[in-house]
Chains A and B, each alone.
Chain A
Amino acid sequence: MAYVSVESDDRFEEGQEGLQFRSFLGDQSVPTQQNGGGSQATSRGPTGFWTVEYYQPFFDVDTKTVLKRCYTTLLPTSSSYLSTHLTPAADLYGPFWTLTTLIFALFLSSSLASSISAYLSDANDPVDYNFSLLSIAVSLVYAYGLAVPVLLWLALRYLGVGEWSVVEAIAVWGYGQFIWIPVSILCVIPVPILRWVLVGIAFGLSGYFLVANVYPILASAETKAVRLMVIIVALLHAGLAISFKVLFFSYYIVKEVGPTDPLPTDPVGRL
């Protein structure tokens, strides 16, 4: 590939074959007419948002970094997450794969719980697992983990509040859901009180992480009313916790109480 360095005088000349290659390597060519002020020494050239190169800066992480960002969301000292851990830039790998792993963990634990409960129950009907739960999990988790931060960021931009980028918002929400993965694995155990306790712990930890990290952004607004948006964040998170519990963690062992009924009715009671 030949690079022809074009100088300002050559602007209206046709050049060799009527083609002028403009090099974007800052050290090789003289900055040309329009880009005279704007050419950077390390420019990549104009890339659109549809190219892979546009998104590469958001995936510039190593394994250790991603793991560290994941488990530090569990610590109570995580209120300065944005400044201490998401440096120099937030990434998109962690949030996306945490959410995807969460979906699969919910599906796994739910199906495992249903088989174990059916196995240990007295009524030995063959259990068919409800596959629609997988698509419900996908929509629920992605809607909460991706759409809510984007909407919040848009709302804050509209109000002129906050200096964070949409990638940081997605990162906070995505990494914050990490606690649900071990909790959903543990919720296979079919003891009701244990499941409620686990869901409560997960809700508490992740809710605290979200609120502690979002509140400083909201607090930088002039009007006090914007701080009330943190209540919306907490309410949405509570809704998520309850829907997880009801949809995925509710397969229980059904044991017969009392002597068996001599009349041949089916479980619903119709003859």
Chain B
Amino acid sequence: MDHEITASTPLTSTSQFIQADDDDIDEDDIPAFTHPSIQTASPSPDKGKARASEQLAPPFGSVPTVSGSIGSTSGAGAKSSRQTVGGVQVETRYTGVDTLDEPTSKTLTRDLLSIYSKLVQVLYPRRSGSAREVLRDWDLWGPLILCLLLAILLSTNAPPSQSLGVFTSVIVIVSVGSLVVTVQAKLLGGRVSFFQGLCALGYCVAPLNIAALVATFVRIIWVRAPVALAAWAWCIWASVNFFDGSKIERQRILLAVYPLLLFYFILAWMILIQ
């Protein structure tokens, strides 16, 4: 799907402009550069339009006339733009990189590396400035993977008659919970970008995944309870770190944190009672 950068974005009280970083463009990412390994790689099926002609003859001299942006998960040179569609502000990301000509493994490893770096940043944040920029390139793949992992872990341990219910409940709680907490933070006057909030809250579920993994194998309650509680505390700490930058007034900070407490506690409780 092609996105276009709009020339102007409406300036509202809650908008926050994300600076594009152009410092990781390497030679491979310049459009119209045909990758030498193109004749062996198959075109990645889930990225952009299918170009059947690529299979017939390696396009050594051809120049792709359309440098489209494919997907929203590439990290290099990604810019985020806000447009107003019918009165509703939407955020889109334009990667600025033509990813159709590279092998699938390269695309996937880049995405996986980006997910990994965001995970590390959320779980063990470093104070250096460049590290915090990692979260600016929000993506929703990481939260999806973490949410599905948690749901699968919990539902395999549930009794067979209820495993579907458990799976559904976990996914609904994680997705609706992140949504509600992000909207709540915005309503309380915080300056948080919507998708960035969703992304960060989704990544903060990661410690609960670890607790669920431990709970799958260990049945002793005296081990599971402290592990689940420690994971819960870690989640809270990671997400409060994220919301620190959103400039909510001091006397309301507990109001913004309380939904997080509730949301992660209910997930930790579902892990405990398996």
Residues of A within 8 A of B (CB): 1, 48, 50-53, 55-56, 58-59, 61-64, 66, 93, 97, 100-101, 104, 107-108, 111, 115, 128-132, 134-135
Q: List 25 A-B contacts (CB under 8 A).
A: A1-B11, A51-B87, A51-B88, A52-B14, A52-B186, A52-B187, A53-B14, A55-B187, A58-B187, A59-B188, A61-B252, A61-B255, A62-B249, A62-B252, A62-B255, A63-B255, A93-B187, A93-B188, A104-B266, A108-B269, A128-B158, A130-B162, A131-B166, A134-B169, A135-B165
Residue of A nearest to B189 (CB): A56
Residue contact B262 to A111, C-beta cutoff 8 Å: no
Q: Contact mask B156-190 → A, CB, 8 Å, 1/0? A: 00110110011001000000000000011011110
| B159 with A128: CB separation less than 8 A | yes
Is there an interface contact between A132 and B165, defined as CB atoms closer than 8 Å? yes
**Closest-CB distance, A110 to chain B (whole angstroms):** 10
- Interface residues of chain B, those whose CB is within 8 Å of chain A, are 8, 11-14, 87-88, 158-159, 161-162, 165-166, 169, 183-184, 186-189, 249, 251-255, 258-259, 262, 265-266, 269, 273
Given contacts A53-B12, A101-B262, contact A131 B165 (CB under 8 A): yes
Q: Which of B12, B169, B265 contacts A135 (CB 8 A)?
A: B169
Q: Shortest distance in angstroms between A32's beta carbon and chain B's nearest beta carbon?
A: 19
In the complex, A111 Cα to B183 Cα: how many Å? 30
Is B13 in contact with A53, judged by CB distance below 8 angstroms?
Answer: yes
> Do B88 and A97 touch (CB < 8 A)?
no
Q: Residues of B contacting A93 with CB < 8 Å?
A: 184, 187-188, 255
Q: CB-CB < 8 A to B262: which residues of A? A: 97, 100-101, 104
Q: Is the CB of B14 within 8 A of A111?
A: no
Judge whether A131 and B87 touch: CB under 8 Å.
no
Would you call A111 and B273 a contact (CB within 8 A)? yes
Closest to A112 in B: B273
Minimum-distance CB pairs A-B, first 5: A62-B251, A59-B187, A128-B159, A63-B254, A131-B165
Complex contacts, B13 vs chain A, CB 8 Å: 53
Which residue of A has the minimal Cβ distance to B269? A108
Q: Which residues of A contact B273 (CB under 8 A)?
A: 111, 115, 129
The docked-state distance in angstroms from the alpha carbon of A66 to that of B255 is: 9
Residues of A within 8 A of B87 (CB): 48, 50-51
Known A-B contacts A63-B254, A100-B262; the reply to A56 vs B187 at CB < 8 A is yes
**Extra inter-chain contacts (11) besides given A61-B252, A62-B249, CB under 8 Å:** A50-B87, A51-B87, A52-B183, A53-B14, A59-B188, A62-B251, A97-B262, A115-B273, A131-B158, A132-B165, A135-B165
A170 to B8, CA, bound (A): 40
Chain A residues within an 8 Å CB radius of B8? 1
Chain B residues lying within 8 Å of A1, measured Cβ to Cβ, are 8, 11
Known: A101-B262, A132-B165. A63 touches B187 (CB 8 A): no
Residues of B within 8 A of A108 (CB): 269
Selected contact of A63 from candidates B88, B169, B251, B269, CB within 8 Å = B251
Tell whether, in the assembled complex, residue B266 and residue A97 are in contact, meaning their CB atoms are under 8 Å apart: no
Decide: B266 and A63 in contact? CB cutoff 8 A.
Answer: no
Query: How far does the alpha carbon of A93 sit from the alpha carbon of B257 in the complex, in Å?
Result: 13
Nearest-CB residue, chain A, relative to B10 = A1
Could you tell me the distance between the alpha carbons of A107 and B13 in the complex, rounded to whole angstroms? Answer: 39
Contacts of A50 in B (CB 8 A): 87-88
CB of B187, distance to nearest CB on chain A (Å)? 4
A209 CA / B255 CA spacing, docked (Å) = 25
Q: Quick one: which of A51, A53, A107, A128 contacts B266, CB cutoff 8 A? A: A107
For residue B8, which residue of chain A has the nearest CB? Answer: A1
Chain B positions within 8 Å of A130 at CB level:
162
* Closest chain B CB from A136 CB (angstroms): 11
Collect the chain A residues with CB atoms within 8 Å of residue B184's CB.
Answer: 59, 93
